[in-house]
Amino acid sequence: MSKKKINAAVLVSGGGTNLQALIDAQKSGIIKSAKIKLVISNKPDAYALTRAKNAKIKTAVITKDEYKTAENAEKAMIKTLEENNIDLIVLAGFLSILSEKFTKKYGRRIINVHPSLIPSFCGKGYYGLKVHEEALKKGVKVTGATTHFVNEIPDGGEIIMQKAVKVYESDTPEKLQKRVMKQAEWKILPLSVEKIAKEMTENGGKQ
């Protein structure tokens, strides 16, 4: 008898390349303990919404502008997550810091992927290309990506997986960003979702 899959929501702000990696991993059977039931964006024009629609995944747009405050937007997000019976939340390029109230409510049920080997080049202000710019400035020979649980400290939650990626002298921040995505982010994010989802199905939907 197959175990019931848990419901996952993916939170996005931009192009959705990590979302695409999750959709592809679900199709290929890498993710088999979770079903991506919902994609929430805090930007109405995020291309990630198109990716979700193409994969026939339900979408919602919840912006701070619409709800006037970050707190109200979070309340609307919680309502949407609860209405869709979401068990696990995956941040895939979601460029908004979640409040302590929110992260505590979903303790050990929010996963993020960060484009460096935490604790290097992480925390407040370290996102997107900035992470790779700083890594190159520092002259590191190895970088990578990290998946971790989300708590009230930016990039401060318990690490789930890490994967190292070589840095070359000819690298630009853009080149390095692409390599880290392909070789690390798109691999460990689906594997981490499956790992945590499997643990949750075995624990009756809890982490």
The residues annotated as belonging to the active site are 114
> What whole-number distance in Å separates Cα of residue 190 and Cα of residue 32?
10
> What whole-number distance in Å separates Cα of residue 147 and Cα of residue 118?
9
- What b/e string do you get for 79-117 counting C-beta neighbours within 10 Å, with b at 16 or more? ebbeeeebbbbbbbbbebebeeebbeebebbbbbbbbbb
CB atoms within 10 A of CB 128: 13
List the beta strands (DSSP E) in 107-198. 110-114, 142-149, 159-166
